[in-house]
DNA sequence: AACCTATTTAGAATTTTATCTAAATAGGTT
DNA sequence: AACCTATTTAGATAAAATTCTAAATAGGTT
């Protein structure tokens, strides 16, 4: 829930790719997993990191787990950058 | 020189604090170091990380090394966020 | 040259991350 | 209930990041 977790989450290309995939809407863990070479367990790990950083939210339907981009945290980090740039 | 390096560099609170210190102008490695409990060697390490991420630039004067914020990379990362948010 | 101050580099120890396989859990369907 | 599919958790291993102390380098001053 802190800025460190957010940046840490964004530091891995795999996780940024996941966010990119989610730009156009919800996807299940499996649908996300298919876009990578890594094991489903590893993708699950990356999804957990993104979830802890509040960059995605999850919802369940049947035996699927859907992930969705959480743009409010993106706003928060943009704010951080703006303040850095403006020397506030 | 990549987005990963930038985010990785920003993920540590010590390094974000260094950037904050540099918001109002150049500081030498020693002046920065004084603001932390850590050894000068460790701060030097963090400065190297920031330098590799292009978040700071360095210049030498006498036996001092001055560090300065590099705002152009900040712009670049803001762009990345904007595209994520706008779903481009 | 000898010395002093500032900073970085080297090497070691510790912690954190990332990945895999195998097993566990959860929800349907037959 | 038995089974199948989707996903996560556990445990192990390997790699990367963080920190320290001690030594090396760089630039002045005396």
Single out the residue of B13, B11, B73 nearest to residue A15, CA to CA: B11
- The domain containing residue B33 runs over which residues? 3-86
Answer yes or no: do A4 and B13 touch at CB < 8 A: yes
Which two structure tokens, joined as six digits, stand for A79?
A: 């704010």
pLDDT, one tens digit per residue, over B34-64 is 999 999 999 999 999 999 999 999 999 999 9
Q: How many domains does chain A have?
A: 1
Q: Which residues of A touch B19 (CB under 8 A)?
A: 84
For chains A and B, count residue pairs whose Cβ atoms are closer than 8 Å: 56
CATH of the domain at A65: 1.10.10.10
B85 pLDDT band, cuts 50/70/90, is confident
CA distance B39 to B10: 20
Instruction: Give the whole-number percent of chain A exceeding pLDDT 90.
Output: 76
pLDDT category at B26 given cuts 50, 70, 90 is very high
First to last CA, chain A: 23
Chain C footprint positions (protein CB, under 7 Å): 5-10, 17-23, 26-28
Q: What is the pLDDT of residue B65?
A: 98
């Amino acid at each position: 829930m802190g800025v460190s977790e957010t940046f840490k989450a964004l530091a891995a290309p795999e996780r940024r790719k996941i966010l990119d995939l989610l730009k156009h809407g919800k996807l299940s863990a499996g649908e996300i997993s298919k876009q990578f070479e890594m094991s489903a367990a590893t993708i699950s790990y990356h999804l957990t990191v993104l979830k802890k950083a509040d960059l995605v939210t999850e919802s369940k339907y049947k035996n699927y787990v859907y992930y969705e981009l959480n743009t409010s945290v993106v706003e928060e980090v943009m704010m951080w950058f703006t303040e850095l740039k403006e020397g506030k």
